[in-house]
Amino acid sequence: MNSVFGPGGEARLTQPIWLYCASVADIGPADQLAVQASGGHHVVLRFPSLQPDEKAALLARLAAALPEHSVFDSSVGVTIMPVVARSRVLERRAEVLGAVAEYRRTCEKLVGQYRAGTLPREWWSDEHGEHCRFENWRTGQVVDAPFWESAERFPVDPYFFALFVKTTAGLESVAELIESEFHDGVRILEVVESDAPLLNSRFLGCRYT
């Protein structure tokens, strides 16, 4: 099963539909796969073996045929997961851009306070790699911030952005778009990036991560 979270932060699980294929020729039509990978389910295509070039071609073909899904190479096979519809993201484009700006401002503020030793006591912090995770014990807000000099320069990580959105009061209209933090986070930023290139998102164009 694949763990995802609803808009309120509650844990949800999508149930896998396992499809065993002798070769790529045995895969059903895209519209059939789209129906199967919906309603709380994701599809996992399993093969006895696939050459790297075969898998790459399959991923590209399915991604093009299933634009409302995330298609990626998982540890157990080729996974097809539904993501938020492009039309829903575009309806809330302004709210998404506002959430990105708020995320960057909050990251810059907290990192500055952390480095200066002035972080308010309601914040718990933990460094990991090039980031620092901040959690507010009073509000429940989660901010995973990179150690970059300028908020306008650092790339937006879709997973960290989604966590921020879902734990920040006032961003409920964007949080409603998110079930799977990473995959819906990538999807949302991909859609708005087309006409807002300054987002500089970390994983845009990498649907198979």
For residue range 132-154, what is the model confidence (pLDDT) as tens digits?
999 999 999 999 998 865 656 67
| pLDDT, average across residues 152-163 | 85
Q: What is the mean pLDDT of the chain?
A: 86
The pLDDT score that the predictor gives to residue 45 is: 97
Residue ranges of alpha helices (H) inside the chain are: 30-36, 52-65, 86-91, 93-116, 158-166, 172-175, 181-193
Estimate to the nearest angstrom the gap between the alpha carbon of 142 and the chain centroid.
Answer: 16
pTM value is 0.79
| Token pair of 25 as six digits | 């020729």
The per-residue pLDDT for range 58-80, each reduced to its tens digit, is 999 999 999 999 999 988 899 99
Give the whole-angstrom CA distance, residue 133 versus residue 153. 19
Query: pLDDT tens-digit profile of 37-49?
Result: 998 899 999 999 9
- H-helix segments, 44-157: 52-65, 86-91, 93-116
In single-letter form, the type of residue at position 138 comes to R
Sequence-separated (6 or more) residues with CB below 8 Å from residue 106: 143, 145, 164, 168
List pLDDT tens digits, range 8-36. 333 346 789 999 999 999 999 999 999 99
pLDDT level of residue 130 (50, 70, 90 thresholds): confident
pLDDT, position 208: 32
SS3 161: helix
**pLDDT number for residue 196:** 60
Closest by CA position to 34, among listed 4, 70, 3: 70
Contact 21, 9 (CB under 8 A): no
Task: Examine the pLDDT at 118 and tell me if it is beyond 70.
Answer: yes
Q: Which residue has the higher pLDDT, 197 or 142?
A: 142
Residue 7 has a pLDDT of 34
Return the closest-CA partner of residue 56 out of 28, 24, 20, 17: 24
pLDDT of residue 8: 36
Distances in whole angstroms, Cα of residue 16 to Cα of each of 76, 80, 189: 11, 10, 26
Tokens 């990626």 -> residue: 72
- Give the pLDDT score at 136: 97
- Answer CATH for 2-82 from 1.10.1760, 3.80.10, 3.30.70, 3.30.110: 3.30.110
In this predicted structure, what is the pLDDT of residue 195?
A: 61
Every domain of the chain with CATH number 3.30.110 lies at: 2-82
Query: How much is the pLDDT for 1?
Result: 42
Mean local confidence (pLDDT), 173-177: 97
Give the tokens for residue 119: 């972080």
Reply yes or no on whether the pLDDT at 6 is more than 60.
Answer: no
What six digits make up the tokens of 86? 């492009």
